[in-house]
Chains A and B, each alone.
Chain A
Amino acid sequence: MEFWIEVVVSAFLIFGGVFVFIGSLGLAKLPDFYTRLHAPTKATTLGMGSLLVASSVMITYQQGYLSLHELLITLFLLITAPVTAHMIAKTALHHKLHIIDRTTGKTSAKNARKRESSEEHSA
């Protein structure tokens, strides 16, 4: 393999790896459930994206044809990540998971919960 391809692929791999690691680190380090949710949903998107770009470049060069199914993985990731994040946040909210004290706008959280319960009654 040519040297510059190796450099590009390794740069993407390292960059992606760092971001995925930061995502996991956030999951361990942030103070409460809601803040923890932010790290894996976001930092990981870019991390996975660059890992997939690395894979695409590498396969394209080695096999001699344009490898694009990584695009599909990225697309599915972009569709599923916000939906999962939304569902997890919603579940946490309705299970009244502990919100750390310095969070502002707790009334909004309460309203969000109430709206849903009124919906359940009417259903």
Chain B
Amino acid sequence: MNPQPRFRFLPMPFHSVLLLIVWLLLNNTVSFGHIVLGSFLALTIPMLTAGMQNPQPRFHRPLIMIRYAIMVLGDIIVANFEVALLVLGPSKKLQPAFIAVPIDIVNELPITILASTVSLTPGTVSAEVSEDKNWLYVHVLHMTDKDELIATIKQRYEQPLTEIFAC
């Protein structure tokens, strides 16, 4: 089950780099001492925690991942304006709804990313995933067209995720 790490002293290279960057950002400095201390932490923490790792599908297409992240950031800004307008508008005109979105991706990590993306983008909050992981239940603040919304979620967010994780 547990794949043999590529390097014994660097079981999670990506996490090590991330830890070093976060450490430097936390201290808001790039001084030599902090780079040394951060590198030490970045090397030892993954060694201690490698055994607890839950095997996750790999990112097959990192470039699409970056494009996806930028697209989601843009959508978050649009979402904020839309929700702000809906909040300021008359509440009586709102048409809230629960919808079930069929999902094709199977692994936990992509489903988590999809649910988080749905929560961050225009007027939707994911509320529940069905037991068989085939349906994502979503609450919509103001629904105009159900089929269109489901199609948007599937094409705009799920489709790139299937490419990234190749599942």
Known: A26-B87, A31-B91, A100-B96. A112 touches B127 (CB 8 A): yes
A83 vs B86: C-alpha distance when bound (angstroms): 23
Q: Are A38 and B123 in contact (CB under 8 A)?
A: yes
Q: Are B77 and A108 in contact (CB under 8 A)?
A: no
Known: A35-B96, A102-B96. A112 touches B120 (CB 8 A): no
CB neighbours of A7 from chain B (8 A): none
Select which of A23, A81, A103 is within 8 A of B119 by beta carbon.
A81
Min distance, Cβ A92 to any Cβ of chain B, angstroms: 8
Q: Are A78 and B120 in contact (CB under 8 A)?
A: yes
Binary interface profile of B, 15-27, with partner A (CB < 8 Å = 1, else 0)? 0000000100110
Min distance, Cβ A19 to any Cβ of chain B, angstroms: 6
Q: Are B84 and A22 in contact (CB under 8 A)?
A: yes
Q: Are B26 and A86 in contact (CB under 8 A)?
A: no
Q: Are B125 and A19 in contact (CB under 8 A)?
A: no
Min distance, Cβ A58 to any Cβ of chain B, angstroms: 14
Chain A facing B: main interface SS: helix
**Residues of chain A at interface, number, CB under 8 A:** 54
A-B contact pairs, 8 of them (CB 8 A): A35-B91, A35-B94, A38-B125, A85-B125, A86-B125, A93-B137, A104-B143, A111-B137
Q: Which residues of A contact B (CB under 8 A)?
A: 19, 22-23, 25-26, 29-32, 34-35, 37-39, 41-43, 45-47, 65, 67-69, 71-72, 78-79, 81-83, 85-86, 89-90, 92-93, 99-100, 102-106, 108-109, 111-113, 115-116, 118-119, 122
A-B pairs with lowest CB-CB distance, top 10: A82-B119, A46-B80, A26-B87, A82-B116, A112-B137, A89-B127, A112-B128, A105-B98, A108-B98, A115-B130
Q: Which residues of B contact A (CB under 8 A)?
A: 22, 25-26, 28, 76-77, 79-81, 83-84, 86-88, 91, 94-100, 115-120, 123, 125-128, 130-132, 135, 137, 139, 141, 143, 146
